[in-house]
Amino acid sequence: MSQTLIEKILSRHTIGKEGDHRLISYDHLLLHDATGALLIEPFQKLGRPLAHPERILAAADHFVPPATAERAEILQQYLDFTKDLAGIRQKPFSGICHQILIEDPLVGPGQFIIGADSHTITAGGLGALACGLGSTDILFSMVTGFTWLATPPVVKITLTGQTGPHIRGKDFALEILHQIGTTTYPDYGFECFDATASKLSMDSRFSLACMGAEMGASFFTIVPDAITATFLQNKNCSIPPVYPDETAHYDAQLSIAAPPEPLVSIPPAPWCVEKVSALSHIPIHQAFVGSCTGGRLEDIADTASLIRGKRVAEHVRLVVIPASNEVYLAALEQGYIGDIIRAGGIVDAPSCGPCGGIDKGIIGKGQNMIASSNRNFPGRTGPGDTYLASALVTAASALTGYITDPREFMA
Amino acid sequence: MTTFAYIVGDNISTDLIHPPNFFSLDKTIRQQGLLYGYNQEWARTIEPGSIIIGGENFGCGSSREVTARVFADRGIKLVCAKSFARIFYRNMVNLGIPICTITSAIPWAEGRRVALQESQDSSCLTDETGAYILLKQPSIFARTIIDNGGLLNSIDHLFQTPADE
Domains in chain B: how many in total? 1
* Stretch(es) of chain A classified as CATH 3.30.499.10: 1-260, 265-409
DSSP-derived 3-state class of residue A46? helix
Average pLDDT score over residue span A151-175: 95
Q: A111 to chain B nearest CA, in Å?
A: 13
Contact assessment for residue A354 and residue A360, using Cβ atoms and an 8 Å cutoff: yes
Backbone φ, ψ for residue B159 (5° rounding):
-115, 125
> B157: pLDDT confidence band, cut at 50, 70 and 90?
confident
Question: Does B58 have pLDDT greater than 60?
Answer: yes
Q: Do A137 and B151 touch (CB under 8 A)?
A: yes
Q: Does A383 touch chain B (CB under 8 A)?
A: no
C-alpha A95/C-alpha A291 separation (Å) is 10
B15, B29, B152 member nearest A378 (Cβ)? B15
Q: What is the CATH number of the domain that holds B48?
A: 3.20.19.10
CB-CB neighbors (< 8 A) of B61 in chain A: 118, 375, 377, 380
Is the complex ipTM more than 0.90? yes
Question: Does A411 have pLDDT greater than 80?
Answer: no
CB-CB neighbors (< 8 A) of A272 in chain B: none
Cβ–Cβ pairs < 8 A, chains A and B: 136
Question: Does A358 have pLDDT greater than 90?
Answer: no
| Percentage of chain A lying above the pLDDT 70 cut | 100
Find the range with the poorest average confidence among A49-58, A261-270, A379-388. A379-388
C-alpha A180/C-alpha A155 separation (Å) is 12
Q: Do B139 and A20 touch (CB under 8 A)?
A: yes
Q: Tell me, what's the pLDDT at B119?
A: 80
In a domain, residue B163? The reply is no
pTM: 0.97
Q: Do B63 and A117 touch (CB under 8 A)?
A: yes
B29, B65, B140 member nearest A135 (Cβ)? B65
Q: Does A314 touch chain B (CB under 8 A)?
A: no
In a domain, residue B165? The reply is no
Q: What is the pLDDT of residues A274-328, one digit of tens each?
A: 999 999 999 999 999 999 999 999 999 999 999 999 999 999 999 999 999 999 9
C-alpha A23/C-alpha A366 separation (Å) is 48
Which residue did the predictor score with more confidence, B121 or A90? Answer: A90
Pick one of 3.30.499.10, 3.40.50.10320, 3.40.50.970, 3.30.390.10 as the CATH number of A1-260: 3.30.499.10
Q: Do B61 and A20 touch (CB under 8 A)?
A: no
> B161: pLDDT confidence band, cut at 50, 70 and 90?
low
CB-CB neighbors (< 8 A) of A267 in chain B: none
Q: Tell me, what's the pLDDT at B162?
A: 58
Q: B75 to chain A nearest CA, in Å?
A: 19
Contact assessment for residue A103 and residue A89, using Cβ atoms and an 8 Å cutoff: no
Question: Does A391 have pLDDT greater than 60?
Answer: yes
C-alpha A245/C-alpha A223 separation (Å) is 11
Rounded to the nearest integer, the mean pLDDT of chain A is 96
Q: Do B15 and A377 touch (CB under 8 A)?
A: yes
In A271-290, the residues whose Cβ lies within 8 Å of chain B are none
Question: Does B131 have pLDDT greater than 50?
Answer: yes
C-alpha A102/C-alpha A122 separation (Å) is 8
Q: Do B23 and A139 touch (CB under 8 A)?
A: no
Pick one of 3.90.79.10, 3.30.499.10, 2.40.10.10, 3.40.50.300 as the CATH number of A265-409: 3.30.499.10
A15, A70, A218 member nearest B162 (Cβ)? A15
Q: Does A72 touch chain B (CB under 8 A)?
A: no
Average pLDDT score over residue span A104-108: 98
Average pLDDT score over residue span A329-348: 98
C-alpha A269/C-alpha A155 separation (Å) is 22
- Best of A214, A374, A377 to substitute, by most chain B Cβ atoms within 10 angstroms, is A377
Amino acid identity of residue A351, one-letter, is S
A13, A19, A377 member nearest B141 (Cβ)? A19
Q: Tell me, what's the pLDDT at A216?
A: 96
C-alpha B142/C-alpha B156 separation (Å) is 15
Q: Which residue of B has its CA nearest to A51?
A: B164
Give the residues across from A386 on adjacent strands: A369
Q: What is the pLDDT of residues A185-196, one digit of tens each?
A: 999 999 999 999
Q: Tell me, what's the pLDDT at B165?
A: 44
A21, A186, A269 member nearest B141 (Cβ)? A21
> B164: pLDDT confidence band, cut at 50, 70 and 90?
very low
Note if the bond before B19 is cis, omega within 30 degrees.
no
Q: Tell me, what's the pLDDT at B156?
A: 85
Which residues span the domain enclosing B111?
Answer: 3-158
Q: Does A151 touch chain B (CB under 8 A)?
A: no
H/E stretch holding A182 reads none
Q: A130 to chain B nearest CA, in Å?
A: 13
Instruction: Give the number of other CB atoms < 10 A from CB of residue B136.
Output: 14
C-alpha B13/C-alpha A69 separation (Å) is 27
C-alpha A46/C-alpha A392 separation (Å) is 48
